[in-house]
Amino acid sequence: MRDLVLAAIISLCLQAPATAYEIEEQRIFGDGSDEIRVLSTTDLTAISPVLQDFAETRPNMRVRYDQAASIEVFRAIHDEGAAYDLVMSSAMDLQMKLANDGFAASILPKATGLPSWARWRDQLFGVALEPVVTLASRRGLGDLSVPRTRRDLIAMMREHPTALNGRVATYDPQQSGVGYFLMSQDSRESEGFWRMAEVMGRLNARLFCCSVDMIEELRAGRITIAYNVVASYAARFTPDDPDLVRLALEDYTFAIVRSALVPVNAPDPGGATSLLSFLLSDTAQRRFAADSGVALIPGTGEAPSAHLRPIRLDTGLLVYDDQLRRAGLLAEWNAAMVQP
Amino acid sequence: MRAVLARQAGFSLRRRLVWQFLALSLLLVVALFFAVRFAAERASRASQDAILGAAVISVGDGIRALDDGLALDLPYATFSMLGAMGDERIFYSLMIGTRLVTGYDALPQPQTTPDDLSPVFYSNEYKDSRLRLAAITRRVLLDDKVQEVVVTLGQTRYGQAAIARDTARSAVWIGLGFLILAVPLALWAIRAVIRPVDRLAGAVARRGPHDLRAVRHPTPRELVPLVGALNDFIARLRGALKLAETFIFEAAHRIRTPLSLVRTEAEIALAETSDEATRARLRRMLRAIGESSRSATQILDHAMVLYRSDQFSAAEIDFAALARSVLRSVQPIAEMRDIELRDTGLEHPCQIPADERMIEVALRNILDNALKYSHSDGRITVTLQTQAGMAELSVKDEGKGLPDGDTDLTARFQRGSNVGDVVGSGLGLTIVSEVAAAHGGKFVLEPGKEKGTCATLFLPQS
């Protein structure tokens, strides 16, 4: 049931007014005197080695890394004007909006080989390509066959409602910027998405704020299928954990571009530019490509497979942030999730 | 005679043309830059306005009124396309009256309310950027009444500016390229323009000293006034010269007739008187009269030669026969002074194209000169031979010869520095030279092998 109903004129304040943004984790790399402040959605564990490398090559610098959810990151910059040197996020639409609305400074990092679709002007730069995959637990699936497409997935969920009830997980688009973005992309890409949402709703799907939580629940055996998980989070576990199955669905698999910008009010744009250059360097790119399984800059890792659809960094992303559109999509999502 | 150089005018026509060409071309290149930039800006603005217009319409089409509200389906592809050229920033808003429905707050609104068919375009500042905006109105039924939703869509035009700049820049490079190509062409063209002037100058400079014909050299139309003025000048000069020649001719003629009368009277008086003193005086008188009449004859000859040079018309004549007859005519004078006249090569006829009167005058003057400067009992040898298409008549005497340093005795009234008391007008050799020049030959006066002088007249055989 597609229901686009919503209040005629929605109040602008979807987000509650002016509460300070929330930082989940913080770590400082290196012990130099010049501090580069990074605000990012990227999992601290995943990026630590790269930042460690950076701090080692530059003894006079230290990097303060603040990890936050994508909406928090956006809010910190857009609404609160927080002083950061580099802002990195996987929520492409929010990053695009920051750049479009004039929050990003023009910089000139060394970005050799960075494809033109993965950058916007001299303000927003793709740092890594992150496929969005579906994870499944082999134990949880039992004798069910591993789905290869969304159609298989829908069919499986329909045919085994008792086995999968309460054991399917995905992002909560209302809590997570990446989750909302992925839902918008899914709804744009395939008409069957809403059908899948309804099936998930019927199975009382569990909604999460972050990929990490989903993976933890999956490994704990409390859920069987996690739909739309950012691959780099899963990368930490998949090689060691024989129970985890990484599914790159063959009808399409999105790859989002984790992007970085230097805010106009950055205290140290020069340091931020050199850090960004380092993130775009061959060594860092090889590490990112190894984590996510696909290379952003050609030649630094595995080439994208045929069903992978990287999302371009362009102004089309601005439509996702429209309040009216957002409200419409969320209403539809809620209608699908909450079965009468 | 050396040509007198015109006073330096201080500038070169060629250089001035080159500089003017360069300055004009550079001006054109600059003009090209601005013109192309203007045109490119207009063209790209028109095409981008068309895209922006289509985009705002497609955004407007995404508005739907529902039972209790408004839904908007923002077209992803439209936004993506709008930003594509030059990574433009994009801003939009949906307003009902002054209330923002969705989009960017305080986006500049159009001055006039647009209709729902064709968008209104305008430019304005927003968030520190120059925006090009388009707006359109959509009427929707909301809360049981028709409300007007103004859809505004704005984009930066970094790409357009860059395109215009790049296009204009390439136009400048092309212009400069053409300029570099055109410089040698221009130099060549300027040379071609100036060449007729050089040719005309050459044609005038090559003329003989007495060539006062009008200049008939083919000239470009622009030089016709100059040539006309030159010809006018030549005509005036010719008139003046003719007047002078006529005057001299008249004067000489009028002097000669009474002189011969005086001479006859003096000779009669000399025959009739026996007083030695009177006879001596009469002889001196006769001598002076002879000299005067001789000068008058030479002036007449000279005038005649000038006239006939001017109206030169040659006929085939026998040079040998003519020389013989002139030799015969001076025979009595030679005998009077016991000078032996010898000739070789005069027995064979020698045909040359020539003016008989002029040649005769020339020969008489050469022989006259030889006789005048020969000692008594001397010998004069006349030789005619042909060599390399030229008939050469040389007259050798055994007289005083030429003094050192006297090289040009053929100029008018120019006489040798060793003439002593020998009377002469200084016109004889001038006449000979002019006759030779009129016939395309030459006259050479050089010292003899042992003594005396050798005068040679060269005349072409055809």
Q: What is the pLDDT of residues B186-197, one digit of tens each?
A: 889 888 888 888
The HSE-up count of residue B271 (CA atoms within 13 Å, CB side) is 5
The ranges of chain A annotated as CATH 3.40.190.10 are: 25-128+258-313, 130-254+324-337
Where is pLDDT greater, at A241 or A209? A209
Q: What is the pLDDT of residues B174-187, one digit of tens each?
A: 888 988 888 888 88
Judged by average pLDDT, the poorest of A104-108, B7-11, B216-220, B233-237 is B7-11
Query: Taking 80 as the threshold, does the pLDDT of residue B369 lie above it?
Result: yes
Residue of A181, A183, A188, A318 to mutate when probing chain B, most B C-beta within 10 A: A318
Q: Does B77 touch chain A (CB under 8 A)?
A: yes
Q: Are strands A168-171 and A206-208 parallel, antiparallel or unpaired?
A: parallel
CA distance A7 to B68: 6
Of B74, B88, B105, the CB nearest to A322: B74
CA distance A272 to A263: 10
- Spatial neighbors of B383 by CB under 8 A, at least 6 apart, are B343, B344, B345, B392, B393, B394, B396
Angle formed by the axes of helices A44-57 and A282-292, nearest 10°: 170
Flag if B75 and A10 touch (Cβ within 8 Å).
no
Residue B146: count other Cβ atoms within 10 Å of its Cβ.
Answer: 9
Q: What is the pLDDT of residues B219-266, one digit of tens each?
A: 888 888 888 998 999 899 888 888 887 887 788 778 888 888 888 998
Flag if A315 and B68 touch (Cβ within 8 Å).
no
Site of tokens 């080692």: A56
Residues of chain B contacting residue A104, judged by C-beta atoms under 8 Å apart: none
Judged by average pLDDT, the poorest of A208-212, A267-271, B93-97 is A208-212
pLDDT of residue A8: 33
Task: Identify the H or E element spanning B384.
Answer: strand B379-387
Q: How far is B185 from chain A (nearest CA, A)?
A: 46
Query: Taking 90 as the threshold, does the pLDDT of residue B93 lie above it?
Result: yes
CA distance B386 to B441: 13
State in Å, rounded, how far the first CA of chain B is from the last one: 28
Q: What is the pLDDT of residues B290-345, one digit of tens each?
A: 888 888 888 888 878 877 777 777 888 888 888 999 889 888 888 888 888 888 88
CATH of B314-462, one of 3.65.10.10, 3.30.565.10, 3.40.190.10, 3.40.640.10: 3.30.565.10
Percent of chain B scoring above 90 in pLDDT: 12
Task: Record the tokens describing residue B36, joined without a space.
Answer: 């192309």
Q: How far is B130 from chain A (nearest CA, A)?
A: 13
**CA separation, residue B141 to residues A148, B372, B444 (Å):** 46, 137, 122
Residue A30: count other Cβ atoms within 10 Å of its Cβ.
Answer: 20
Q: What is the pLDDT of residues B112-153, one digit of tens each?
A: 888 888 899 999 999 888 999 999 999 888 888 888 899 999
Q: What is the pLDDT of residues A116-148, one digit of tens each?
A: 999 998 999 999 999 999 999 988 888 888 899
Q: How far is B124 from chain A (nearest CA, A)?
A: 16
DSSP codes joined into one string, A116-165:
GGGEETTTEEEEEEEEEEEEEEHHHHTTSPPP-SHHHHHHHHHH-HHHHT
Query: Taking 90 as the threshold, does the pLDDT of residue B201 lie above it?
Result: no
Quote the distance between the C-alpha of residue B121 and its chain's center. 62
- Spatial neighbors of A301 by CB under 8 A, at least 6 apart, are A285, A286, A288, A289, A290, A293, A294, A295
**CA separation, residue A114 to residues A53, A279, A297, A315 (Å):** 21, 12, 5, 18
CA distance B236 to B226: 15
Task: Record the tokens describing residue A269, joined without a space.
Answer: 């744009």
Mean pLDDT of the region A269-296: 92
- Supply the mean pLDDT for chain B: 84
Name the residue in chain A with its Cα closest to that of B64. Answer: A4
Flag if A315 and B89 touch (Cβ within 8 Å).
yes
pLDDT of residue B406: 62
pLDDT of residue A21: 85
Where is pLDDT greater, at B84 or A227? A227
Mean pLDDT of the region B50-58: 91
Name the residue in chain B with its Cα closest to that of A332. Answer: B71
Residues of chain B contacting residue A332, judged by C-beta atoms under 8 Å apart: none
A302 secondary structure, DSSP code: P
Name the residue in chain B with its Cα closest to that of A119. Answer: B87
CA distance A46 to A42: 7
Mean pLDDT of the region A266-293: 92
pLDDT of residue B53: 92
Q: Does B28 touch chain A (CB under 8 A)?
A: no
Q: Is B38 left (phi over 0), alpha (psi -120 to 50) or beta?
A: alpha
Find the radius of gyration of the CA atoms of chain B.
Answer: 51
Residues of chain A contacting residue B141, judged by C-beta atoms under 8 Å apart: none
Class of A130-254+324-337 in CATH: alpha beta
Q: Is B387 left (phi over 0), alpha (psi -120 to 50) or beta?
A: beta
CA distance A191 to A124: 31
Residues of chain A contacting residue B73, judged by C-beta atoms under 8 Å apart: 325, 328
What is A25-128+258-313's CATH number? Answer: 3.40.190.10
Q: How far is B91 from chain A (nearest CA, A)?
A: 8
User: Taking a C-beta distance cutoff of 8 angstroms, is the pair A86, A275 a contact?
Assistant: yes
Report the sign of the C-alpha dihedral through residues A44, A47, A49, A54, in that order.
Answer: negative
Residue A5: count other Cβ atoms within 10 Å of its Cβ.
Answer: 14
Residues of chain B contacting residue A312, judged by C-beta atoms under 8 Å apart: 80
pLDDT of residue A260: 96
Say yes or no: ipTM exceeds 0.85.
no
Where is pLDDT greater, at A14 or B447? B447
- Supply the mean pLDDT for chain A: 87
Query: Taking 50 as the threshold, does the pLDDT of residue B211 lie above it?
Result: yes
Residues of chain A contacting residue B158, judged by C-beta atoms under 8 Å apart: 121
Query: Taking 60 as the threshold, does the pLDDT of residue B284 lie above it?
Result: yes
Flag if B68 and A8 touch (Cβ within 8 Å).
yes
pLDDT of residue B183: 84
pLDDT of residue B421: 60
Q: Hey, where are the domains in chain B?
A: 10-205, 207-311, 314-462
Percent of chain A scoring above 70 in pLDDT: 93
Task: Record the tokens describing residue A143, joined without a space.
Answer: 């004798």
Percent of chain A scoring above 90 in pLDDT: 55
pLDDT of residue B413: 63
Nearest to A54 by CA among A216, A276, A247: A276
Q: Does A64 touch chain B (CB under 8 A)?
A: no
CA distance B173 to B154: 34
pLDDT of residue A17: 41
The C-alpha angle with vertex B260 and arms to B255 and B265, in degrees rounded to 5, equals 125
A 8-27: CB under 8 A from B: 8-10, 12
Query: Taking 50 as the threshold, does the pLDDT of residue A2 lie above it?
Result: no
Mean pLDDT of the region B34-48: 89
- What's the one-letter identity of residue B225? P
Query: Taking 90 as the threshold, does the pLDDT of residue B273 lie above it?
Result: no
DSSP codes joined into one string, B112-162:
S---SSS-EEEEEEETTEEEEEEEEEEEEEETTEEEEEEEEEEEE-HHHHH
Residues of chain A contacting residue B51, judged by C-beta atoms under 8 Å apart: none
Percent of chain B scoring above 70 in pLDDT: 92
